Amino acid sequence: MTAEQVARSAREASNMLQTVGSAQKSAVLRRIKQVLSERRDAIIAANRADKEAAQKEVEAGRLSASLFKRLDIEGTDGEKFATLLQGVDDVDRIADPVGQVTLARKLDDGLDLFRVVCPVGVCLVIFEARPEVVVNIACLAIKSGNAAILKGGKEAQRTNRELADAIQHAIRTAGTDFPKNSVQMVQTRDEISELLDLDRYVDIVIPRGSNSLVRHIQNSTRIPVLGHADGICSTFLDASADVTKAVHTVVDAKTHYPAACNATETLLVHESVASSVFVPVAQALLSAGVRIHADERARAALDAAGVTDPLVTPATDADFGHEYTDLDIAVRVVDSLDAAIDHINAHGSKHTDAIITESRDNALWFMRRVDAAGVYWNASTRFADGFRYGFGAEIGVSTNKTHARGPAGLEGLTIYKYYLFGRGQAAGDFGVGSGKHAFLHKDIKLDDDVRSQFAL
């Protein structure tokens, strides 16, 4: 099919999905897990072939090491594949958001208004590496009643193809009247370029990948884009930071998965703890192999403590506001809590930022003033993840100020519509003057009788 035919068939599937019930969705999800399990060996073989080819690209300098790390779908002793299957179950167990009533209001006798959750429609998802995204997005789209068009990176093309084939087979053989074009995959950049122009069919674009990918998508379409271009997360060691908490959270935030968008890239240090709390934090980072790009005051604190290591280098202005996606961190000593907040708002990417402090007042001040999708107190920035939030899986992390912000799960794939039930009323019946009357605007209790009207 051409790109336009793919988009048109996705729109048709989306229209049909508006009335698909929760039981049908659950049956398809269970069948997806079953087929993935049955085809595990073929999927793993495809993934190994992708990784072998990608390793050569890394050695040739044409593919980054961080991107290579994201290709693996197998894991040690198969735990990543097991997690992938568990993710299907997790999505299945989440309550179906479609049909939930979020507002009920009586405008007048016999004129009732309801705001009801509904699918976005057709979602175009473009991603690099991370072949598990095929399964995550497909399952979330099915659960939320959306049609999905997927485009993965060429570095994972064999794995993506195997996963997509398994999902499409599961949809066709689930024993339900489920639209067969609910999940489709395209292969080329030319198809993406054409799809980005098809705003009459595609409702939202979700790019997952590098800064350059996301910015290219944002600049190439009229379709709303949900996502983030950068993951420049910061952690601030406040004046009352506890050293044990600081070491544990900062090391995790930097080293647990450096290539992730929620890894801490900048460490800000209150000047009063530069010679105390910061020193053991830096030593722990160095022991983990982290390269520290330190400003003058941070280096002075380390020198005074006798910490000398070739992994410590002078920071440049470019280091602050840079997403390393590797074992690197930029460190700056600041004069105050407000200076830390100002730095984050100037150099961050509105993703996730954390403060380590024993002061509740300082924590709340930080959390209110930092302009980010996630603001944490005494916790690693690595918690910014849909799975860890209990969303089952995520479609991505959004730094947009739209209907979805932060790690977005099912709610990122839903919007709402207004249902108005009347008895032949006209807007001109209401107002001031002869024969007109005022609106009641009385909230209706959201009980089971109301909810049952919209349940599928």
Residues of the chain with pLDDT under 70: 229, 392
The per-residue pLDDT for 386 is: 83
Q: Name the nearest CA neighbour of 247 among 265, 262, 235, 239.
A: 235
The per-residue pLDDT for 391 is: 80
* 326-269-372 Cα angle (round to 5): 65
CA 340, CA 348: separation in Å to the nearest integer? 11
Q: What is the token pair recorded at 266?
A: 């900048």
CA 121, CA 119: separation in Å to the nearest integer? 5
3-state secondary structure 143-211: HHCCEEEEECCHHHHHHHHHHHHHHHHHHHCCCCCCCCCCEEECCCHHHHHHHCCCCCCCCEEEEECCH
**Residue 288: beta bridge partners?**
none
What confidence tens digit (pLDDT) does each residue in 202-257 have? 999 999 877 788 889 989 999 999 877 678 999 999 999 999 999 999 999 999 99
402 φ, ψ (degrees, to nearest 5): -130, -145
- Work out the number of other CB atoms within 10 angstroms of the CB of residue 296: 11
Helix (H, G, I), strand (E, B) or coil at 396: strand
Q: Name the nearest CA neighbour of 70 among 170, 199, 159, 176.
A: 159
335 φ, ψ (degrees, to nearest 5): -80, -25
C-beta separation of 289 from 311 below 8 A:
yes
CA 415, CA 425: separation in Å to the nearest integer? 27
123 φ, ψ (degrees, to nearest 5): -115, 125
22-38 and 40-59 helices cross at what angle (nearest 10)? 70
CB proximity list for 362: less than 8 A, separation 6 or greater: 238, 239, 240, 337, 355
What confidence tens digit (pLDDT) does each residue in 5-62 have? 999 999 999 999 999 999 999 999 999 999 999 999 999 999 999 999 999 999 999 9
CA 84, CA 38: separation in Å to the nearest integer? 14
CA 281, CA 264: separation in Å to the nearest integer? 13
The per-residue pLDDT for 76 is: 87
The per-residue pLDDT for 427 is: 95
CA 87, CA 386: separation in Å to the nearest integer? 11
